[in-house]
Structure 1
């Protein structure tokens, strides 16, 4: 059984945190990173990875294989196909993994298992993108990659896509930082809908999306020292991923800046469905509720699925909570 990023960080923090308010606390030790002079990082933690499973004789939830997206950028995607596909074509889910913009990949066992079950239980084709990571590639690099994969899907001749995908039913989904990426990919895609046809986005599914701001929210203060995801971790992740010279009220991290932007009016006119998952045990929950409130104010078709207790990462790491995501996806269909 693989551990989630937040669980691993919690174990590290138990050893490293004496006082998260200490001025001598090194946030990079907390993240198991070495900050190099050239702005890159050395990642000291290795996370379990799983190979793709294209063999239909193996007892996996779904078939999977890896395909190159952009060779020069070293981006690729893992595609998941249910074992027993119906004769009719299937909806498409484009998935963006989490990890604070700086960890994990589409091959990480934690997300591989989730995507395989997602494809199987919702009877969908899933394209999980391996985007470029910060700080080597600060935002908006991941956003650029998140839209490039839509253009790639449009032109790809891969038979798993051409034979099995209903391009008119595409959903963008992401967890944590991936939820942030899915949201920003949606904003960008809404302005180029004609360029990515026949890919037609029908909605966004944001699982505990990672957003921030300079003013602390009540949930951030309440869970400031929570070992699962303390503020010192999220602050460090933003410092490593945002463009140099901006703060957490930049539009990439705070979606409420400038009232969310006029592009939300297009999302409303397109009739996209938006779902936001969160729970009270996550310091980010107030940010997620703020996003729902923003979208409601723009008359976007949004539903907030918020639960008591829990933790950050629970919707991917806990099978019973993953089921809640799968059930909502099926209701969207």
Structure 2
């Protein structure tokens, strides 16, 4: 970004905002003084803009490292346009995977060969394909931003990088952690209705939901007459500036995430008993019952506090250790 402004009436300054380099915001400044200074400054400004756009030789924005550019991109693009949870996932991936290998590279030095070698290295380190896809996605989006609107590079080198096809054997049921009917019976046998994992387990089992969706289900989403459950949100952990997690409902990431799921008589009876038990707990706890004025979640503790994915995952591990 380019600015032109006056100082003391006779001296005209202009500067370029180059963003962040080595952790500092760079704004080179030039001036013109004497009669006709404003006209001279404008002429200099036009010339410098032309030099900058044609060759990048004035302020050399191409000297910026990937580490500095990703920091700038996260601040100016990801933080403003994407969900907070996506921001923190990107931040973690950049810190743990991208910067240790590529952070010191200048953006202009990131050739398809360099980037392909990096992705191949991560592939050999046996990272999950989902992790590799996230890394590729971050680099592709960030370097698109470097092409336009910033014009740090003329072409995105990630366009020529590919994820090598996995030639290993197809995953087995054990690899995919698909539970057998016998295992599901064993899990159910150790859960009574007072167990904190009982209700989330049955909602997830009967409706095929992920843990965030289970936690996001409210009573208004359940139609007992039609025996259907509406998926309209999921509970997501949002980190504040102090890295503390706050669980908040968020809409599904895609249209396909919104769906109506039918369920049978078994889950109907489980839900009805759970609703009755929650009403009894509210009367028993009185003023100490934690009633949420905005959300009436289905999965709650005895005191009314809603379950979070962290709580459910903790109880999942406890059940696992029993076997």
TM superposition score normalised by structure 1: 0.24
> Which has the larger share of strand?
1
| Larger relative contact order (Cα-Cα within 8 Å, sequence gap ≥ 6) | 1
Give 1 or 2 for the bigger CA radius of gyration. 2
> Which has the larger share of helix?
2
